[in-house]
Structure 1
Amino acid sequence: MLVVEDETDKRDAVREEIRAFFEGGVEIEECATFGQAARSLSRSQFDLVVTDLLLPRLDGQAPIDVSEELIEQFAESELNRSATVVAVSRFEEVVAQRRGAFTRAGILLIGYSKDDAWRSCLRVCMQRVASRTVYDFVIVCALELERTAFEAVSREDFTVGGYVRFAGLDGREVSLGGLEGICVLQPQMGLVDAGIIASRALSVFSPRLICMTGVCGGFAARAPIGTLVVSDFTWEHQAGKQLPNSFEIRSYQESMGNETRIVLSQLIEEDRCLLRLASKRHEVAVPSVEAVLGPSVSGSAVIASEKYAARIAEQHGKVAAVDMEVFGIYRAAALHGSPVVCFAAKTVVDHADEAKGATPQQPGAILSARFAVEAIRRLLPEG
């Protein structure tokens, strides 16, 4: 929790209200100037921030209205965009003047007075914080087989927990060192379910990272059976205009962030065939083919036609994989209000042709799960 207030009596009152609500079991950081608050928000993540509007910029300066700077600070804070923020001011004219701007920014602005009205409003916000379930990362799977594959991740710092239900989401908790995560199963395969489930998980759990694992189809020239494909960027292969004798593709691409791409590219280059993820003798053997960081496409239908797959491959000279969900995950992350790391890693188990289904899916799903856990550990090193 962060309390930003330069008046001692008001700061003490807010602090004691927070401690009373959480029965003392809470860490509270205090700042008396806007400068101190800006530094705290840039280096630490808070569940709740209670701030005044009139603050000195630096020690020894007179308080001034820093409303616009506060709104900008919270909008630009990657660590605290999901924090519950409450602004409390004893100056009624400032509250009236600034209420609209704070409301548009998603910040509750209340007046501070000697009665208990402000306390009631603050308790409502603290109740929201207390009931929030937050995970560091979310993994989305389209099939139960893909989620179960995480049981085969052989890392001492990784554990698979029990099944949970939140906001209509079918989850299974996992942990990785000091990180807490949840593996969410889609009700059905496909782009629509992927986008909806990812959007809901992002809103409900406020994760720092969301990813997708599992199996997919591939294009033989670029991704042999057993290839782990990490989707650099992706699009919907069926988006466009159907003409009488042809189809006019109108693709809208979504990509992983550049920093994410660098980290995953280096992770692959360290061990291109992912031999470090190989199974022990008693475990299900996983593929050992060179991994690929490249384009993938998504669509709503299962592709089991060599002719149709060839038409899709013509959309991009280096497209490596085809599936039914990844574009939905990337699109949900792109439209989410807060920055979130996003990637997808799926193993090719067919070439989207008439032989679809001939290769077992479990080994590929396990390889994907093992890679994703390594990637999460690398992308979220702080815990």
Structure 2
Amino acid sequence: MRILIADDCKSRYKGLLKKLEALGVQRSSVELVASADEAHTKLENEYFDLLVLDILLPLYETDDDVSHEHSLAILHRINNDEEIRRPGKVIGITADLDAAGAAKDTFSDCTWSIIDYSQIDDEWQQRIINCVKYIAQEKLSRPSEVQSASQTDVVIICALETPEFDALMELPWNWAAARPIHDHMFVRDGWFFSNGLKITVSAAFATRKGMVEAALKSYIAISYFKPKLIAMTGICAGVQGTVKIGDVVFADPAWDFQNGKLLREGDVTKFLISPHHIPATYSVRTLMEMLRSDKVFLGNLPLEYGDECKYSTNIKLGPLASGSAVLADGKTIKEIEERQQRDVVGVDMEVYGLYAAAHVSSPATRFFALKGVCDHADPDKDDDAQRYAAFASARVLQRLFEQYGAFCLGVANG
């Protein structure tokens, strides 16, 4: 395996090089360059299985100034210049993602993953090691056979990295460094105990918003892990007067509220809804009905979040509609309530995609979603409300699994 590392701080890779050698990657197979100019030259003349590219690079090794423009130029050539020998995979790395500025979006679109370098711990090294293991296995196997997986009990999908996935990662579930299971999916593995039963979990977040991305990620995860259960946590809009900001919604059932037919009758355009409702796993719903009466647990959530928390949490079970757009007009959610489902409690962009993937899985996979209410589908969007909603949904999930894990998975005795 050939690896090219383009970074003006070569010394940070001493530990990684030792780990790569222990993995069987010879030191002579790893090239380190300190400038964009050297990286261009290497890529013009050699093929590399992996390129680790610093987002901020000097143009020449002797330059003091670094810029994301130099790294972006490398990515542009990789994707557009026939003189470049396109590497197998590209990973972005940076010690300061905020300093990368506008380059963050391009790197997210054009690289396999972006890794945050840290002087405090070596998780960033382990993420690269995991990527190298994946590439090595990929070279030995047909794509459909890459990394034959051992079964994971639970898969959790989040729609957004921040604040949803971040809130999930705060759970004390022994999370490992991210690793690829597919060219388009990274996961973090963890585990926890539920009444003496060890439960394994793998979690991921979607690259983009929406039902299609959620369905694709869910399908990949179900196919790879063969989990007993797949779930989603995160945020949603709630129906004003039915749920308040901070409440956690158990979505049952879910449907695509935009699925149907637009019909023109004279000067009037009508929308004829054609819903396909998918219910959550019933046995999990019954557990949530018990958990919603745990007033001590729910009452402590604002205290755990912070002394000045202005939100509170109740658990609401009910229909949740999924759509393809963020709602901020304050009207559409009311139209859903009036024309499609009078008992609707919330609206999001992903749950139906996960439900659809799990609904057709074989063997059957249990599934449900917990979404924290962060607004009422109106223009009043608040970052702290989103953070609390994500926090509350993750903590309700934690309570459910740690208290009723065996029942959730369908492995309880008696």
TM-score range, shorter chain: 0.5 to 0.7
Counterpart residue number, 1:72: none
3-state SS of 2:176 partner:
strand
Aligned mates of 2:307, 2:328 — CA distance in 1: 30
8 A contact 2:245–2:385 mirrored in 1: no
Counterpart residue number, 2:259: 239
The correspondence for 2:243, drawn from 223, 226, 237, is 223
Alignment of 1:179 with 2:196, yes or no, is no
Alignment of 1:135 with 2:188, yes or no, is no
Shift of 1:175: 1.4
Aligned mates of 1:130, 1:239 — CA distance in 2: 37
Aligned mates of 1:200, 1:134 — CA distance in 2: 13
Shift of 1:290: 2.0
Alignment-mate amino acid for residue 289 of structure 1: T
1:1-383 equivalence runs, <5 A: 131-145=148-162, 146-153=164-171, 158-167=173-182, 168-177=184-193, 178-244=198-264, 245-271=269-295, 274-280=298-304, 285=309, 287-314=311-338, 315-357=340-382, 360-377=385-402, 378-380=404-406
Aligned mates of 2:305, 2:277 — CA distance in 1: 41
Aligned mates of 2:167, 2:356 — CA distance in 1: 25
Shift of 1:161: 2.5
8 A contact 1:279–1:286 mirrored in 2: no
Shift of 1:281: 7.3
Aligned mates of 2:308, 2:166 — CA distance in 1: 13
Shift of 1:180: 1.2
Alignment-mate amino acid for residue 165 of structure 1: P
Counterpart residue number, 2:101: none
Aligned mates of 2:225, 2:310 — CA distance in 1: 32
8 A contact 2:155–2:229 mirrored in 1: yes
Task: Structure 1: state its 5+ residue gaps.
Answer: 1-123
Q: Deviations over 1:206-236 (max 9, x none)?
A: 1111000001111102111111111121110
Alignment-mate amino acid for residue 177 of structure 2: G
Change in 2 beyond 3 A, CA 1:142/1:283? farther
Change in 2 beyond 3 A, CA 1:282/1:161? farther
Q: Percent identity?
A: 31
3-state SS of 1:306 partner:
coil
3-state SS of 2:378 partner:
coil
Aligned mates of 1:338, 1:271 — CA distance in 2: 36
8 A contact 2:370–2:397 mirrored in 1: yes
8 A contact 1:150–1:160 mirrored in 2: no
Alignment-mate amino acid for residue 167 of structure 2: A
Alignment-mate amino acid for residue 172 of structure 1: R
Aligned mates of 2:285, 2:296 — CA distance in 1: 15
Which of structure 1's runs of 4+ aligned residues deviate more than 4 A? 281-286
Aligned mates of 1:235, 1:141 — CA distance in 2: 18
Counterpart residue number, 1:24: none
8 A contact 1:273–1:289 mirrored in 2: no
8 A contact 1:133–1:205 mirrored in 2: yes
Q: Deviations over 1:307-339 (max 9, x none)?
A: 222212221111000000001111111100112
Shift of 1:380: 3.0
Change in 2 beyond 3 A, CA 1:283/1:206? farther
8 A contact 1:286–1:363 mirrored in 2: no
Aligned mates of 2:335, 2:220 — CA distance in 1: 33
8 A contact 2:246–2:392 mirrored in 1: no
Task: Structure 2: state its 5+ residue gaps.
Answer: 1-140
Counterpart residue number, 2:7: none
Alignment-mate amino acid for residue 313 of structure 1: E
Aligned mates of 2:305, 2:317 — CA distance in 1: 29
Q: Name the TM-score, length of structure 1 as normaliser.
A: 0.62
Shift of 1:198: 0.4
3-state SS of 1:233 partner:
strand
Q: Name the TM-score, length of structure 2 as normaliser.
A: 0.57
3-state SS of 1:331 partner:
helix
Aligned mates of 2:305, 2:155 — CA distance in 1: 30
Aligned mates of 1:276, 1:139 — CA distance in 2: 24
3-state SS of 1:265 partner:
helix
Shift of 1:359: 5.1
Alignment-mate amino acid for residue 170 of structure 2: A
CA RMSD of aligned residues (A): 2.5
Change in 2 beyond 3 A, CA 1:151/1:279? farther
Aligned mates of 1:234, 1:130 — CA distance in 2: 33
Question: What is the number of equivalent residue pairs in this alignment?
Answer: 254
Alignment-mate amino acid for residue 368 of structure 1: S
Shift of 1:247: 1.1
Change in 2 beyond 3 A, CA 1:311/1:266? same
3-state SS of 1:162 partner:
coil
